Chains A and B, each alone.
Chain A
């Protein structure tokens, strides 16, 4: 019988010996990987340089300061016209992406929570109806939803001349939704200041009430006092300042409405489609989250004498949220990324402005796509960071 000893490896050649050593092997593998990666990167860099030189392009962001020479029809936050720079076009696009993403997140959350709770309902009919809707919507591409809703809005809503008219100030047409724009007049700053002060007061009051409750057990109707304080203070200030706010109502001029605030049909279509598509995923998350709280928690809460609504508020929801929030955040991220499909229906988000028209006009594929990708990466990082912070805050404090 051969005797295997520790010195057996010495008979092998030095390279095999080195490879037999776990630490050495790990170092070798890493060095080789590094070398390969840097080699590939260098090769790619060389290719880019050679290719760009061959067609006479250079890599620079100077084009951002040149006039864009195209129009963006939907720019609710900053001034923009065709003489503005590409940089400004990018800013408009980023703001539009943020707008549709944040509106979508709000609506999707509300709809998702409602549908998630309805899915748990003991009412068979409600339960099944919501289930059918969820399954159908989830299994159809979001792009199709967006195109379909856009088609509905553009073809099914009336033309401006026959607009759906609500109280002569809200108009729903296939050119968009029009409503009066608030125009602050002299003295409006008084109302704004009073509002801000009352908000600060309410926050301080909330903290104080929490402290009192922690120390003595006495509770105040914080919600009602806060709402009352804000509404009453602002209303009094508004009346005292002589109602310094007027409304500019939209009016039919020619073939379209002028004045007021106009919400474009592209925005409406994208917003609705993204919201209900994402809400179907959120509904499943909410349902799973609530089911994850064991029924013993409810029974324990009843046993210590909590009423059903307090049980829900103090026992069930905080525990369910712990399960719900991480996947919820990733759905928010998905919604934000899906908003890039805006380009299919002509909503001017960041992909359509800087990554679409600016790219076509300047031929700066690399620079514009870098800006677009960086934008989404930053959004992702922000949402991921928020999620981590929230997770830490909500995490189970263990012994």
Chain B
């Protein structure tokens, strides 16, 4: 105890290391997990919860899973304890169905080609440092039409009926079309809603509020059952096209509200500055107002896109077979009866990967475009 009693002059005490309970693993544990009695209880509860959920789930999904089998019975026979593992053989055997739907086998190279083209079209949109990005963007704008030609056929290619589209292909068709067409329409609607002219403004408000007030499923019902009544007699309209129109209009109304929020956040001075430079309405909006407004609206726009992408599953209610629809149809196969969990987990993972990457990209973009003060 000699050290403890040694006297120092004021301000001369040598610096001591921090107590062991405040640094390192112990300190982290103390501050992050056990900082108060309530937190101790909470931590223990969560540990108990994770312990009861994760190991069995991992065993079921990975350790006890079976990847090759032809029937459910065979699947279960291969397990140490029947029904104790996931039967991924089911998904593996039907993966073609999940990706292409009923697209004719010999023509599936066209689907693969359009997947590759889609990736090539997305890259210049996402990365702005790409050399020759300007031309790549023109290609990206043309992509929906190129892909449409590839998939549907005609003009030299064997036509494929859109009834045969399904699975991930269908999700991507609806998602990409909806995303690429709803943004320009949404911007126009937002500008219309903020117009000083009464007639366009009222029309835009009515349209936006009507679409936002009803569920998408009712619009899809309209597309499926009664859109033909509004068309000239004898017009036959493909169901997929009707659905695409409805999904695009639906998401355009939401985009319009997001963009309107962005437009409202632009200070008046920006408009006045553009006016004083003698810019016309379109020049002012294209070069001054919209670039700023869209930048602010990015999180909202991406959120709308994620919502649209998730909403593509609703087409199963009007009888189209997206991945979830294919999964539900597969569940009715008597050979594989009772494997709902595998199907739902597979489809959930597909959507999670797509939507989560979209939300991460939006965060990255937000940080990159943040040109204001960095506190």
Identify which of B43, B199, B230, B355 contacts A34 (C-beta below 8 A).
B199
Identify which of B43, B231, B324 contacts A123 (C-beta below 8 A).
B43
- For the complex, count residues of B whose C-beta is within 8 A of A: 56
Flag whether A381 is at the interface (Cβ < 8 A). Answer: yes
Q: Give the shortest distance, in Å, between B326 (CB) and chain A (any CB).
A: 13
B32-A139 in contact (CB<8A): no
Flag whether B50 is at the interface (Cβ < 8 A). Answer: yes
Flag whether A104 is at the interface (Cβ < 8 A). Answer: no
Query: Inside 8 A of A143's CB, which chain B residues have their CB?
Result: 313-314, 316, 324
Chain B residue with the shortest CB-CB distance to A49: B229
Flag whether A135 is at the interface (Cβ < 8 A). Answer: yes
* In the bound complex, CA of A51 to CA of B352 (Å): 44
Chain B residue with the shortest CB-CB distance to A364: B226
Interface residues on A, range: 35 or more
* In the bound complex, CA of A359 to CA of B306 (Å): 32
Flag whether B123 is at the interface (Cβ < 8 A). Answer: no
Q: A26-B196, A143-B324, A365-B225 are in contact. Are A340 and B215 (CB under 8 A)?
A: yes
Query: Inside 8 A of B328's CB, which chain A residues have their CB?
Result: 147
Query: Inside 8 A of A124's CB, which chain B residues have their CB?
Result: 32-33
B340-A141 in contact (CB<8A): no
Q: Give the shortest distance, in Å, between A194 (CB) and chain B (any CB).
A: 40
* In the bound complex, CA of A67 to CA of B210 (Å): 31
Flag whether A50 is at the interface (Cβ < 8 A). Answer: yes
B229-A47 in contact (CB<8A): yes
Q: Give the shortest distance, in Å, between B148 (CB) and chain A (any CB).
A: 24
Q: A47-B232, A369-B222 are in contact. Are A29 and B324 (CB under 8 A)?
A: no
Q: Give the shortest distance, in Å, between A139 (CB) and chain B (any CB).
A: 4
Query: Inside 8 A of A50's CB, which chain B residues have their CB?
Result: 233
Query: Inside 8 A of A337's CB, which chain B residues have their CB?
Result: 214-216
The interface-forming segment of B6-14, B98-106, B343-351 is B343-351
Identify which of B213, B314, B344 contacts A341 (C-beta below 8 A).
B314
Q: Give the shortest distance, in Å, between B119 (CB) and chain A (any CB).
A: 21
* In the bound complex, CA of A359 to CA of B221 (Å): 11
Interface centre among B213, B230, B338 (most CB of A within 10 A): B213
Flag whether A317 is at the interface (Cβ < 8 A). Answer: no
Flag whether B228 is at the interface (Cβ < 8 A). Answer: yes
Interface centre among A126, A141, A143, A337 (most CB of B within 10 A): A141
Query: Inside 8 A of A372's CB, which chain B residues have their CB?
Result: 214, 218, 221
Query: Inside 8 A of B236's CB, which chain A residues have their CB?
Result: none
Q: A126-B42, A344-B317 are in contact. Are A373 and B214 (CB under 8 A)?
A: yes
A126-B46 in contact (CB<8A): yes
Query: Inside 8 A of B43's CB, which chain A residues have their CB?
Result: 123, 125-126
Q: Give the shortest distance, in Å, between B174 (CB) and chain A (any CB).
A: 12
Q: In chain A, residues 11-41, which have Cβ atoms closer than 8 Å to a Cβ of chain B?
A: 26, 29-30, 33-34, 37
Query: Inside 8 A of B228's CB, which chain A residues have their CB?
Result: 51
Identify which of A51, A52, A123, A344 contacts B39 (C-beta below 8 A).
A123
Query: Inside 8 A of B230's CB, which chain A residues have their CB?
Result: 44, 47-48
Query: Inside 8 A of B306's CB, which chain A residues have their CB?
Result: 139
Q: Give the shortest distance, in Å, between A340 (CB) and chain B (any CB).
A: 4
Interface string of A105-140 (1 = CB under 8 A from B): 000000000000000011111100100000110111
A125-B33 in contact (CB<8A): yes
Q: A123-B33, A139-B356, A151-B344 are in contact. Are A377 and B226 (CB under 8 A)?
A: no
Chain B residue with the shortest CB-CB distance to A341: B217
* In the bound complex, CA of A275 to CA of B292 (Å): 36
* In the bound complex, CA of A51 to CA of B235 (Å): 11
Flag whether A338 is at the interface (Cβ < 8 A). Answer: yes
Q: A30-B198, A144-B344 are in contact. Are A380 and B213 (CB under 8 A)?
A: yes
* In the bound complex, CA of A29 to CA of B210 (Å): 24
B352-A147 in contact (CB<8A): no
* In the bound complex, CA of A48 to CA of B226 (Å): 10
Flag whether A376 is at the interface (Cβ < 8 A). Answer: yes
Identify which of B197, B225, B310, B351 contacts A30 (C-beta below 8 A).
B197
Q: Give the shortest distance, in Å, between B372 (CB) and chain A (any CB).
A: 18
Q: Give the shortest distance, in Å, between A362 (CB) and chain B (any CB).
A: 12
* In the bound complex, CA of A52 to CA of B42 (Å): 64
Q: Give the shortest distance, in Å, between B315 (CB) and chain A (any CB).
A: 10
Flag whether A155 is at the interface (Cβ < 8 A). Answer: yes
* In the bound complex, CA of A129 to CA of B52 (Å): 14
Identify which of B31, B32, B311 contacts A141 (C-beta below 8 A).
B311
Interface string of B19-57 (1 = CB under 8 A from A): 000000000000111010001001100110110000000
Name B's interface SS.
Answer: helix
* In the bound complex, CA of A179 to CA of B361 (Å): 49
Flag whether A390 is at the interface (Cβ < 8 A). Answer: no
* In the bound complex, CA of A47 to CA of B31 (Å): 71
Q: In chain A, residues 129-183, which have Cβ atoms closer than 8 Å to a Cβ of chain B?
A: 129, 135-136, 138-144, 147-148, 151, 155
Chain B residue with the shortest CB-CB distance to A376: B214
Interface string of A348-359 (1 = CB under 8 A from B): 000100010001
B199-A33 in contact (CB<8A): yes
Interface string of B277-319 (1 = CB under 8 A from A): 0000000000000000000000000000010001111101100
* In the bound complex, CA of A144 to CA of B33 (Å): 34
Chain B residue with the shortest CB-CB distance to A148: B344
B218-A351 in contact (CB<8A): yes
Query: Inside 8 A of A29's CB, which chain B residues have their CB?
Result: 197, 200
Q: Give the shortest distance, in Å, between B102 (CB) and chain A (any CB).
A: 21
Identify which of A144, A377, A380, A381 contacts B313 (C-beta below 8 A).
A144
Chain A residue with the shortest CB-CB distance to B314: A143
* In the bound complex, CA of A355 to CA of B226 (Å): 12
Closest 7 CB pairs of A and B: A139-B355, A380-B213, A337-B215, A124-B32, A365-B226, A340-B215, A141-B310
Enumerate chain A interface residues (CB-CB to B < 8 A): 26, 29-30, 33-34, 37, 44, 47-48, 50-52, 54, 121-126, 129, 135-136, 138-144, 147-148, 151, 155, 337-338, 340-341, 343-344, 351, 355, 359, 365-366, 369, 372-373, 376-377, 380-381
A-B contact sample (16 more), CB < 8 A, given A140-B355, A143-B324: A47-B230, A141-B313, A143-B316, A144-B313, A144-B348, A147-B344, A151-B340, A151-B341, A151-B344, A337-B216, A340-B215, A341-B217, A366-B226, A369-B218, A372-B214, A376-B218
28 A-B residue pairs with CB within 8 Å: A26-B197, A29-B197, A30-B197, A47-B231, A50-B233, A51-B229, A51-B231, A121-B42, A122-B35, A125-B46, A125-B47, A126-B43, A136-B352, A138-B355, A139-B356, A140-B310, A141-B310, A147-B344, A148-B340, A148-B344, A151-B341, A151-B344, A340-B217, A341-B217, A344-B316, A344-B317, A365-B229, A369-B225
Enumerate chain B interface residues (CB-CB to A < 8 A): 31-33, 35, 39, 42-43, 46-47, 49-50, 196-200, 203, 210, 212-218, 221-222, 225-226, 228-233, 306, 310-314, 316-317, 324, 328, 338, 340-341, 344, 347-348, 351-352, 355-356, 359
